[in-house]
């Protein structure tokens, strides 16, 4: 699939994991990107290091809750699209502190929509009609699946965590602004992303870094919760496809048909690390284990832990001409090689406020 980007975009959350991967691809393709990020704990300027000195990338530190700031950027730079990645995104953190998720994910999305509406009201009709708003959401808004079936775009919403509920609220606002104000908006949903620059509170980097340091590898509950994994580059291409070809008012699900239990994923990661960074050569292990699998430790389950997610990407494949290009084995290999080659990035993250401690144990 040929990936194309608008000439000029405003991207929110472009210093985060998925956002920075998207911005890098857009700039490489020739797009001018105004990148708005508040640089909270998961927004990392180091993620943008490959773009240093590139005059097609303008970084602005600021909060999506600041409507006047967003409106000023829209009026100054006249982008033809706004791609909205900015979000509080970790379920465990939403259990500990749901207020931040409501403020950023619900109220912040509302402020963006209002800024876009005000901006479009002052544009010539043709320019206003060409403007696109893409809201990047999650499969977690659909709740939990049983042993069979898949999430489709018409699946009912049934969020089970404060994070999922806040993203569901934002989705509904975007849809309402399309229906009420005719905003040219599209909503996308995806499975669990993995790849370079992912903040180490998420499962794959958390397990990889713990393994390399000889620490326990935490697996929630019985390890049989199922997630549908997608390589971040494939997801970014999906967002670009929705931006270019998505029908206004529609939603699109992006998945790679990569269902896997959490325990199977951790075992696959350990097996790959056994080959890439053999335990016998890892000083942190001091000969304690022959395989990283021996570090797996089952821990107390997360409150309200959804049992299974699985995405049907057929609509995106048929309407957008998109398809995930990386199988899980290939994507995991690329990801682990990146973390092994970028230990300095990992160490700078660990020197901040998050040291891979357990989160999300607040009473339900």
12's enclosing H/E stretch is: strand 8-12
pLDDT, tens only, 286-344: 899 999 999 999 999 888 788 999 999 999 999 999 999 999 999 999 999 999 999 88
Is the pLDDT confidence value at 356 over 50?
Answer: no
Q: Torsions phi, psi of 57, nearest 5? A: -125, 120
Question: Mean pLDDT across the stretch 238-243?
Answer: 98
Give helix then strand counts, H and E, for the chain: 13, 12
Structure tokens at 78: 């006249």
Instruction: Give the mean pLDDT of the chain.
Output: 93
pLDDT at res. 355: 45
Residues assigned a catalytic role: 139-140, 163
Structure tokens at 256: 């790679």
pLDDT at res. 352: 57
Q: How confident is the model at residue 216 (pLDDT cuts 50, 70, 90)?
A: very high
Q: Is the dihedral of CA 151, 152, 155, 161 positive or negative?
A: positive
- Sequential DSSP letters for 163-220: HHHHHHHHHHHHHHHHHHH---EEEEEE-EEESTT--TTSHHHHHHHHHHTT--EEEE
Neighbours of 135 (CB within 10 A): 27
What are the beta bridge partners of residue 133?
82, 185
Q: Cα(315)–Cα(313) distance, rounded to whole angstroms?
A: 6
Is the pLDDT confidence value at 38 over 70?
Answer: yes
Is the pLDDT confidence value at 345 over 90?
Answer: no
Is the pLDDT confidence value at 201 over 90?
Answer: no
Structure tokens at 350: 């660990």
pLDDT, tens only, 130-180: 999 999 999 999 999 999 999 999 999 999 999 999 999 999 999 999 999
Q: Cα(252)–Cα(247) distance, rounded to whole angstroms?
A: 10
DSSP three-state, residue 298: strand
Describe the crossing of helices 162-181 and 108-121 by its angle, rounded to 10 degrees: 20
Q: Cα(165)–Cα(141) distance, rounded to whole angstroms?
A: 7
CA neighbor of 88 nearest in space, from 113, 116, 71, 65: 65
Kindly list the distances between the CA atom of residue 177 and the CA atoms of 24, 72, 119, 211, in Å, as whole numbers in the listed order: 29, 20, 14, 46
Go through 213-225 and write b for each residue having 16 or more CB atoms within 10 A of its CB, e for each that does not: ebeebbbbeebeb
CA neighbor of 228 nearest in space, from 135, 334, 138, 294: 138
Kindly list the distances between the CA atom of residue 278 and the CA atoms of 54, 128, 319, 361, in Å, as whole numbers in the listed order: 38, 56, 44, 33
pLDDT, tens only, 110-133: 999 999 999 999 999 999 999 999
| 226 and 264 Cβ atoms separated by less than 8 Å | no
82's enclosing H/E stretch is: strand 81-84
| 92 and 86 Cβ atoms separated by less than 8 Å | no
Q: How confident is the model at residue 51 (pLDDT cuts 50, 70, 90)?
A: very high
Question: Mean pLDDT across the stretch 237-252?
Answer: 98
Q: Cα(56)–Cα(35) distance, rounded to whole angstroms?
A: 10
| 163 and 283 Cβ atoms separated by less than 8 Å | no
pLDDT at res. 44: 87
| Percentage of the chain lying above the pLDDT 90 cut | 84
């Amino acid at each position: 699939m040929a990936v194309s980007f608008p000439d000029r975009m405003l991207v929110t959350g472009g210093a985060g994991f998925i956002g920075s991967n998207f911005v890098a691809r857009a700039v490489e393709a020739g797009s001018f990107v105004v990148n708005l990020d508040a640089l909270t704990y998961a927004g990392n300027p180091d993620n943008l290091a490959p773009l240093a000195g590139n005059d097609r990338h303008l970084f602005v530190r600021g909060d999506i809750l600041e409507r006047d700031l967003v409106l000023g950027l829209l009026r100054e730079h006249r982008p033809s699209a706004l791609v909205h990645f900015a979000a509080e995104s970790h379920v465990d953190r939403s259990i500990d502190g749901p207020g931040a998720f409501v403020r950023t994910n619900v109220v912040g999305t509302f402020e963006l929509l209002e800024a876009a509406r005000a901006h479009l009201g002052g544009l010539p009709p043709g320019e206003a009609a060409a403007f696109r708003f893409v809201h990047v959401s999650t499969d977690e808004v659909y709740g939990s699946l049983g042993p069979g079936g898949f999430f489709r775009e018409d699946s009912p919403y049934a969020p089970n965590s404060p994070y999922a509920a806040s993203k569901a609220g934002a989705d509904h606002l975007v849809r309402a602004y399309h229906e009420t104000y005719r905003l040219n908006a599209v909503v996308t949903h995806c499975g669990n992303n993995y790849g370079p620059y992912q903040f180490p509170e998420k499962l794959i980097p958390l397990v990889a870094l713990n393994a390399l340091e000889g620490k326990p590898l935490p697996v929630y509950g019985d390890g049989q919760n199922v997630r549908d994994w997608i390589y971040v580059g494939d997801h970014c291409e999906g967002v670009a496809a929705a931006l270019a070809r998505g029908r206004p008012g529609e939603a699109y699900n992006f998945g790679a048909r990569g269902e896997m239990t959490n325990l199977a994923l951790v075992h696959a990661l350990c097996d790959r690390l056994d080959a890439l960074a053999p335990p016998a050569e890892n000083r942190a292990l001091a000969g304690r284990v022959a395989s990283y699998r021996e570090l797996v430790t089952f821990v107390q389950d997360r409150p309200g832990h959804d049992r299974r997610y699985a995405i049907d990407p057929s609509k995106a494949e048929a309407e957008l001409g998109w398809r995930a290009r990386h199988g899980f084995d290939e994507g995991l290999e690329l990801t682990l090689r990146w973390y092994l080659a970028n230990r300095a990035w990992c160490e700078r993250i660990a020197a901040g406020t998050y040291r891979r401690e357990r989160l999300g144990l607040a009473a339900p």
